[in-house]
Structure 1
Amino acid sequence: MIHQPTILVTNVPIAFFSPMAESLLFSYGESILGRLANAAIEEASLALGVHSELQQMKETMTLIRSVLLDAQQKTPHSSALIEWLRQVNCVFCDAEDIIDDFERESLQKNVVNTSGSFSSKVRRFFSSSNPVVYRLRMTHRIQDINTRLAKFAADRNMFALQIIDHDTCVVHVREMTHSYVNPSNVIGREHDKNEIVNLLVEDGDRESLSVIPIVGIEGLGKTTLAKLIFNDSNINAFFLLKVWVCVSDDFELKNVLVKILNSIPNPTRENFNDFEIEQLQNHLRNTLKGKKFLIVLDDVWNEEYEKWDELKEIIDVGVQGSKILVTTRSHAVAAMMCTKSSNSYLLECLSEENSLSLFVKYAFEDGEEKNHPELLEIGKEIVEKCARLPLALKTVGSSLFSRVDKKEWESIRDNEIWCSK
């Protein structure tokens, strides 16, 4: 279940600097692939008779996503590759439109009955529209996207882009995180923080341990939000023990157990890296037993339920009200980790007002924007192109810090590699 019913639709911009661009585009592709794996989408495509086309879309997108981080090393020297990335981003946007369409139908119909003939299933699922017309329209749209994706996949050979597997990509995308944050540097997340803090300090009446995932693409500030929550005074008063663990792609049970134990005060200074897994689980269970704890698992990618279930079984020894807060880019991970009495929290982009405030904070000295009204007006247009993503706003703003040449600002604003749908 999703805490906020709004469906996240993000038109991720290709920024003028390649390292962030490919990271964002990679995460955008990851987000779309996660949504394509949703049961409602699978069921809708089966009912409509376009399941094979949708599977083809998924496979080609997976291939393209796998070369994006290799493109990171090559884009500064290739305007043709920059244009290729811009077009990939635009087709990703169109693919997400199709997913949104399916999800809207699914929400309207609530559920599809999988029994009966194909024609009856189509009528039940798409009763609000002409099923034949709807099927033809969606088939053409999917085929168009598949044609474009196939061309992009073939064009990658022109740029000698190498396929990097998912795990390798993750290592390059994300560095290890820590729990500290200066609240004065965070803008526009007070409401989100308060909402999640309220969820965390509720004592569940059915489970001793519940899990709340924060879900959203890279660049939205999931980790920053988790840090605000982790250091909130209400959290400090409610939980006897707090643990911060950056998981990333490393979800092997032994490694995660070591990370959790290393994040807990260790008076005896034991080296948990030398422990066998039996010793680790015994030590951790004894440490957590009888305590109300909060464990933050930051940046979880692994979608193997067995691994998650094994970890949860080990740490489910606290008192009622113990919580796990997860940050993830994957809706599949969020659905897998949610417990019966908990919901996912879908993190959305910043408001227009907060987006501008964040950009100004990083682009100008405090109060200096008042002395440069022309730059501020250009900045407002740049903010709009950053799609209200905190990472993009901070990175672009920082790149303009102390620069007062109007032409430089205009050059960034007018750069052709901003994607326009």
Structure 2
Amino acid sequence: MAEIANVIARKILEELRSLVNQELCSAWGVQSDLKKLESTVLAIKALLFDAEEKEASNHRLSLWLGQLKGVHNDAENVLDEFQYLGIRERVDDISALKAEFNLVAQLEVRKTTMHKRDMSHMTHSFVPPQIVIGRDDDKKHIINLLMQQDADRNVSVIPIVGIGGFGKTTIAKLGYHNEGVVSHFQLRMWACVFEDFNVTTLIQEILKSTNVTIDENLMINKWIELIRLLLGGCIGSKIIVTTRNSSIATITGTAPTYDLKGQPRKDSLSLFVKFAFKQGQDQYPNLLEIGKEIVRKCKGIPLAIKTIAGILYSKVDEDKWKFVRDNEIWNLEQDGGILPALRLSYNQLPFHLKQCFAYCSLFPKNYVFYSFKLIQFWMAYGIFQSLVNKNQALEDVGDLYIKELLLRSFFQDDNVHKFECITFKMHDLVHDLALSIAQGECSVVTKKSTLVAEVCHLTFFDNDQEVTTQLEKLSKVQTIIFQTNQPMSLLEVCISKFKYLRVLDLRESSFEVLPSFIETLKHLRYLDLSNIRKIKQLPDSICKLHSLQTLLLENCINLE
């Protein structure tokens, strides 16, 4: 939180210095007030380094930092409109409390810039999904279960059980893509299912994996066909189910549960070395010894090993390795299934990557990210920092951010497509971590959700009056993402109520027109209208969105 608060202070200062230098300030006679606010923020900023060391053991200090973050969100919204008076008063109030924490002002001596790496090496610096260290016995066992004939039943269900991060999905994929398995079965289907899955959506995902064209009018017939396929299929048909819950395995399985264990120490160390050392580990025997102790704390969990190795990649400072090895976070129990190693890896991220990572919580589990879209999405929040020179394109900075998060295993299953676009996903445990980090600021809106007044970023999964009612107490919203088809009335409410919107994602909606008063969104920077097949025209008022950076119109087939 303190590191995030640090970047908050920096951004406020940048805005203030920009305003102080404008002639408009002198004309309005507010330059001295802005300079006073600048000096107050500078004083707070000097304390943040000490706060970073103390916040873990001081709940009230964490709350204070949270207040500062809230002030920043408001500052971003109003500085452009010159409404500085209310912000100044709130900063003064928070600043008055700093004496209670006995913080010592420190000079800024640490840098949190990313290492610039050779781009050709970056492409191959992490293990592709199909390359797995160890797990040979597990792979053989699953393949044998898939290939063996069961004379007494048409369809057999094979459950794989293990804790999060053990590699259950990876083992299932190794079996699914095995050459012998591919030639043995006429048809193979793949789908990811989470606790709150929707049956129709699940069927669509399964059918998509077979390259079947989905016609919603024929969905019922397809459902009947699928039922017949799954429950009355040919003799020898198999279903693999991966789960953390042994009860689910017992309910669904027709074969004995396969309990996936942690990797042996030797394989775990090999995996760690692959991800942690830029060059041969033999050159750094001391680091390798420390690494062995770190691997032991990862308890054979591949995801934990890869994320920890990712934060140590190319680092040769023994103190940094010892900091990871001796960190108190290893003593914590799993929080909601989130591994201590993941939290430690997150804590070691530079603050700009922490922000980028937190925004990814707005998308659902198993979501396929496209690099160019995610970069434009991040750009809307103004969080990119030029790493090389001031003339560096922001898209190039975003590309480096994505590669860094891939390297650290916060993203996975990456594939390079044409025009160098990369697609990737987040492991469900990593997604859980993002949700916990962004809690209170980012929120998913459903009929059952409870929104706090401070929330700034919303993803909609339901669409009824109960959802609209929840929006009444909100005023600071900067992001709206529709994940389901929403009525025009809700869109109109969002546009009229949330004047500070920076991101509006309406893809796959059924709107025929956009409200003409969209021009009131003077802060809007990202507008996604992709796959809105009914829309025919854009209102002329869209030309008044002077802050707009990204407009996506992919597959708007009826747009004139």
Q: TM-score range by the shorter chain?
A: 0.3 to 0.5
Higher RCO, Cα 8 Å, sep 6+:
1
Give 1 or 2: higher helix fraction: 1
TM-score, structure 2 as length reference: 0.36
Instruction: Report which of the two structures shows the higher radius of gyration computed on alpha carbons.
Output: 2
TM-score using structure 1 length: 0.48
